Amino acid sequence: LIQKQLEIEQNKQELQENKIRLLVAQIQPHFIFNSLMALQAKSIDNPELYNGINSFGRYLRANFEAMTDNMLIPFSDELKNIRAYVRLEMMNYGEKLRVEYDIEIDRFMLPAFCVEPLVENAVRYGVGTYEKGGLVQIIVHDEPDCILIEVRDDGSGGNKLTDAQEGRKSIGLENVRLRLKALDMGELTVTQDESGTAAVIRLKYMEETG
C-alpha cells in the first residue's frame, strides 16, 4: 500500500512537471527577454526602474532554467535568484521589508527552488500582510550532520491569513517537502508561534563540483 501511494505521488509530480514544461514552451522566453532589454534600454535615465527590470529579468531566467531542468543546482545560483526576488519585493514594500542574510556556506548542491518559495512565503505572508512590515532572515549554517537552511519572519505567527493565502502558502511548502523527500536529500519543517514563522531545511551535504 505504501509503495502504491509513493507511485501515485510520483505520477502526480511527473504530471505537474510536464504541465510546467508545456507552459514554458508556450511562453517563448527569447521574446520576453528581448522585450525586457528593450524596456530597460529606454529606462536608463531612471535607475530604480532600470535596476528593477534587470532584477526581474534575472528572476525570470532562473525560473525558466529551473522549470526545464530537474538536475541539482549550486546553492550560489539559488541565492542569486533569491536576491533578485528580494530586490523586486523591496520595490513593492519599500522600508516595510527588511531582509538579513547569514550565509556561512554556499558551495553545495540542492534541488532548484527549494529555498526561494520559503523566502516568498515569508515576504508575502509573514511580512507583506502587516501594515508595519517586518524582518525576514535567510540563514545557512554548516552543521555536523547536515546543512541547516532557515528562513524566518517576525510577523506571520500572530497574523490571520485568508483561506486563499493559506492555500497558496501550503502549496509552496508541500512542493518543497515532496521534492526533498523524493530525492532523499533532506526534510522541511515549519514552526509558528507568536514571534513569527521559521521554515527549516535539513539538507544532506552534497559538495559543489567544478
- How confident is the prediction along the chain (210 residues), in pLDDT tens digits per residue? 777 777 777 777 777 666 655 555 555 566 577 677 878 888 888 888 888 888 888 777 776 666 555 568 899 989 988 998 898 888 888 888 999 999 999 999 998 888 988 998 899 888 877 778 889 999 999 999 999 999 999 875 555 656 556 656 667 788 888 888 878 899 999 998 888 899 999 999 887 765
Prediction pTM value:
0.71
Question: Is the Cα torsion angle 99, 138, 103, 48 positive or negative in sign?
Answer: negative
Place of cell 550532520: 145
Q: In whole angstroms, what is the distance from residue 45 CA to residue 102 CA?
A: 34
Cβ atoms of 121 and 161 within 8 Å: the answer is: no
Q: At what angle do helices 163-182 and 2-27 cross, to 10 degrees?
A: 110
Separation CA 29–CA 64 (nearest Å)? 8
> In whole angstroms, what is the distance from residue 149 CA to residue 140 CA?
5
- CB neighbour class for 165 (10 Å; exposed up to 12, middle 13-18, buried from 19): middle
The closest alpha carbon to 152, from 143, 141, 144, belongs to 141
CATH superfamily for domain 2-203: Histidine kinase-like ATPase, C-terminal domain (3.30.565.10)
Under a CB-based contact definition with an 8 Å cutoff, are residues 177 and 168 in contact? Answer: no
* pLDDT value for 191: 92
Instruction: Give the bridge partners for 191, in sequence order.
Output: 198
* Matching residue, cell 528593477: 52
pLDDT of amino acid 136: 96
Which three three-digit cell numbers place residue 32? 520576453
Is residue 82 a contact partner of residue 58, using CB atoms and an 8 Å limit? Answer: no
Asked whether 196 and 155 are in contact (CB, 8 A), the reply is: yes
